[in-house]
Structure formats: C-alpha cells, structure tokens
Amino acid sequence: MLAFILMSVLLFIGVMFFQGSKGVLYMASLNKILKNEYGWRQSDIDKLWNIQRKELNNLKLDGKSTSDIARFIDEHFYQYKE
C-alpha cells in the first residue's frame, strides 16, 4: 500500500514537471523565432507577453504551432515592436 502511494506521488510530480517544462520550451522557442525570424527584441517580447499572455496561451492551447503563433504575433501585435 505504501509503495502504491509513493508511486502515485512520484507520478504526479513527474507529470507536473513535464507539463511545466512544456511551457518553458514553448516560450524559449517562441522567443527564438520572434528574435531570429522577425527581429523582435527581448524587451518588446516581455512587454507583449505581460499584456497579451492569456491570448497567446489560448493560441497554443488551440493547437497552433509555435511558428504560427510567432507569425500571428508579428502580424497582429506589431505595435509592441519598437
């Protein structure tokens, strides 16, 4: 019984770590694409992210690829780019 509880806790921690790392990888990839392909600066990305975080997360949850999201950002949120 103790082994089952221990395995359940470890599985939960593993799943949470995996889910968290997916978000970090998404943001790192998005930052890289915006900087390298569209010429965004980190300060512009930070400003955009602080204001539009919910909408950008929803795009990812809707199944859009990171490249598609970067293209969407460059086309629709260019006012954040200095």
pLDDT by residue (tens digit) across 22-73? 666 888 899 999 999 999 999 999 998 888 888 888 888 888 899 999 999 9
CA distance linking residue 68 with residue 75, whole number of Å: 11
Binned at pLDDT 50, 70 and 90, residue 19 comes out as low
Q: Is the dihedral of CA 70, 75, 76, 82 positive or negative?
A: positive
Residue type, 55: E
What is the pLDDT at residue 78?
82
Q: What is the pLDDT of residue 21?
A: 55
**What per-residue confidence (pLDDT) applies to 82?**
77
Q: How far apart are CA 47 and CA 53, in angstroms?
A: 10
Distance CA 45, CA 63 (A): 21
How high is the pLDDT of residue 55? 87
**Which stretches of the chain are DSSP H helices?**
2-38, 42-61, 66-76
